[in-house]
A and B are shown apart, each in its own frame.
Chain A
Amino acid sequence: MSISIDKLKCIGCGKCSTVCPGSLIKLNDDRRAYIKYPKDCWGCTSCIKECPVYAIRFYLGADIGGMGSLVHTEKDGDILRWIIEKSNGEITEIDINQKESNKY
């Protein structure tokens, strides 16, 4: 379970690093975020929800059946949009209105 951070997109705001419940994300000397302990990621996606430039993706490790898809979220008012990019380029978007409850 881990994340990858796009260094080119990262603006060095440090929000991901602040929020990580495992203190796993650090800023390098150029103030770019990186995950220092990738095996220790819980997969909570807190960092992804914080990133203002959508530079962070999470993926499932191959040891738990991951097939290389990358996930991130984008915020649009009350909508939290989950965007899943499969390795074949196929994109799935799922909108969740945060003002609406789960039905189950």
Chain B
Amino acid sequence: MKTEKIKTDILIIGGGTAGCYAALTISEHSDAKVLICEKAHIKRSGCLAAGVNALNAYIVEGRTPQDYVDYARKDADEIVREDLLLTMSERLNSVTERLEQLGLVILKDENGKYVTRGNRNLKINGENIKPILAKAVKGLSNVTILNRVNIIDYSVSDNRINGAFGIGIENDTFYIIEANAVIIATGGAAGLYKPNNPGFSRHKMWYPPFNTGAGYAMGIRAGAEMTTFEMRFIALRCKDTIAPTGTLAQGVGAKQVNSLGEVYETKYGLTTSERVYGTVNENQEGRGPCYLRTEGITPEQDESLIKAYLNMAPSQTLKWIESGKNPSQQNVEIEGTEPYIVGGHTASGYWVDTKRATTIKGLYAAGDVAGGCPQKYVTGALAEGEIAALSVIDFIKGHTSAAIDDELAKEKISEAERFLSKDSASGFTTEQLEEAMQTVMDSYAGGIKTNYRFNEKQLDIADAKIQGLQKLSDGLHAEDFQELMYIYELRERLTVCRSVIAHLKARHETRWHSFAENLDYPEKDNEHFLKYVNSRYENGELKIIFRDLVKGGESYEHIN
């Protein structure tokens, strides 16, 4: 196998929102050599490939960063890190201005002030947000970008990271990358559960199907402490196209109604999880399907919606045009998606301090993989990219990492070679095992099939079956490097599945309907569970750690 060894000061894994902004920040403050490894191409990779049509995290005039913290804390019913939310919120507006300087179009009034949507949102044209970020990074002299290099594992020695291993899916190369510090900025995990439309349109999902939880899985394997994997994210979406609903709910004030035309959202509450739960419940009790009531909006609103969706989820506009009816003439049917793990929306991810340092020395996390800090969206990911970058610049001044152990590199190469050779192939395909994993999670770990509900017995079955699939995945075979990536992606997801199951099992309460609906414990238990559920992989087992909440005015630091 062709191998290539690269040395860099800082490795950034994932060239998305957080990763690109981290590279930009480092470049502005330091001459350190930066390498970005991106599994796709940074021009259109990750969740913003199609664009985004609003900035959802901004401190509007008259509001403070603390207001944003309070909003996010309430939405997650207390299970957030206030120190992380505050340090993020304080940067939301400066990163927004920077994004505008880089070329993002943001709607302004006649006085040159941003036009806001509600208390936290700005209206933009974000179709080209990813090309804008990519362009900003591409011209930097100290930054190298390796597109289509998929990082498969860290190199960690004595709890200190010193690099990572990757595969180049277009040049059939195994990469050994030595780095003094690493920023993990990969996406969350899609494809753990059976999707809404498992057939031809299986990838017509909310989150990019190419985000397979690599960042989480590598951290779990390396023994990093992780947090809140039980706070799954389920998006309320337009049926079929799985397009976002925020533009309808917040943009034109469309209410959630059942098939009788009754507004039901007020009955269940307005947090993110309650909006999903209400929809599930109305369906279960025979009042489905549910809709966002767009009938009766103005022709001008029709036109704006049709354009807004083209800038983010063009399939929804296509749906309107194909049906020959505009949103003003027909309500938009809605449904919940399958559950995802995504730290930019809920609080799953690495357990970090306010510098975004993980519990592995030299490893920093930003964006969807950084835990404890939900409701980040685009600007929060930029803010965390900036914080992680500044922390890393500081860290590398006083530290030098050891070289990567040759034996470890050999082990990783021989694993890849084994998958590429036919000798040990079991006959199962990666696709078969992926479908098996999604079926297990759907049936036994609270998927769409059970209306997101589960009990402990089911979780035990899920865990046993996922472990069985992990064993079977040892015998997979790849014809080329792209198929090799698919094997690693499946194995990542199986690793994340086990953490999700263990976390769901550990929280003996139902704090968030649908996100973690434990039928053995259907009530909220503030006496015992105003706590974080954390975990660490030790000697082949996931050890659960309960930690006290970090509240307003407090700041958590790692004690090593």
Contacts and interface: CB of A to CB of B under 8 A. Distances in A.
B49 interface: yes
Interface in A32-67: 38-46, 58-67
Interface stretch (B122-130, B338-346, B369-377): B122-130
B503 interface: no
Contacts of A61: 197, 199-201, 204
B322 A1 contact: no
Contacts of A59: 318
A96 B315 CA distance: 16
Given A18-B41, A39-B202, A100 B125 contact: yes
Nearest to B307: A96
B472 interface: no
A64 B241 contact: yes
Interface stretch (B276-284, B298-306, B456-464, B514-522): B298-306
B241 A60 contact: yes
Given A65-B240, A94-B310, A101-B123, A60 B322 contact: yes
Contacts of A65: 240, 319, 322
Given A82-B310, A92-B321, A102-B107, A1 B201 contact: yes
Which has the most chain B C-beta neighbours within 10 Å: A21, A45, A65, A82? A21
B50 A44 contact: yes
A43 B201 CA distance: 9
Contact of B252 (A43, A84, A104): A104
B107 A43 contact: no
A94 B107 CA distance: 20
A20 B311 CA distance: 17
A71 B304 CA distance: 19
Give the interface residue-count category, chain B. 35 or more
B314 interface: yes
A5 interface: no
A10 B323 CA distance: 30
A21 B209 CA distance: 10
Contacts of B170: 23
B201 A22 contact: no
Contact of B44 (A2, A39, A41, A46): A46
A20 B130 CA distance: 13
Contacts of B148: 23
B33 interface: no
Contacts of B40: 20-23
B117 interface: yes
Contact of A103 (B105, B308, B317): B308
A99 B314 contact: no
B296 to A, nearest CB: 16
Contact of A101 (B49, B105, B321, B322): B105
Given A19-B41, A23-B40, A40-B209, A103 B319 contact: no
Interface residues of A, number: 43
Interface string A67-96: 101010000000010101010000010101
Nearest to B148: A23
A62 B311 contact: no
A5 to B, nearest CB: 17
A80 B125 CA distance: 12
Nearest to B50: A44
B245 to A, nearest CB: 12
A44 B123 contact: no
Contacts of A2: 200
Interface in B46-93: 46, 49-50, 53-54
B234 interface: no
Interface string B417-437: 000000000000000000000
Given A63-B197, A82-B310, A100-B105, A39 B203 contact: yes
A38 B124 CA distance: 31
Contacts of B475: none
Contacts of B124: 101-102
Contacts of A64: 197, 201, 204, 240-241, 315
Nearest to B115: A101
Given A84-B321, A102-B53, 18 more contacts: A1-B201, A19-B41, A19-B43, A22-B209, A39-B202, A43-B50, A44-B208, A46-B50, A60-B201, A61-B197, A63-B200, A64-B241, A65-B319, A82-B314, A94-B310, A94-B317, A101-B107, A104-B251
Interface of B: 39-41, 43-46, 49-50, 53-54, 105-107, 115, 117, 123-125, 127-128, 148, 169-170, 197, 199-205, 208-210, 240-241, 247, 250-252, 301, 304-308, 310-311, 314-315, 317-319, 321-323, 482
29 contacts: A18-B41, A20-B41, A21-B46, A21-B49, A38-B200, A39-B200, A39-B201, A42-B210, A60-B315, A60-B318, A61-B204, A63-B199, A64-B315, A65-B319, A69-B322, A82-B317, A94-B317, A96-B127, A98-B125, A100-B105, A101-B106, A101-B123, A102-B53, A102-B54, A104-B117, A104-B123, A104-B251, A104-B252, A104-B305
Going nearest first, the 3 A-B pairs with the smallest beta carbon separation are: A104-B251, A101-B107, A46-B44
Interface of A: 1-2, 18-23, 38-46, 58-67, 69, 71, 80, 82, 84, 86, 92, 94, 96, 98-104
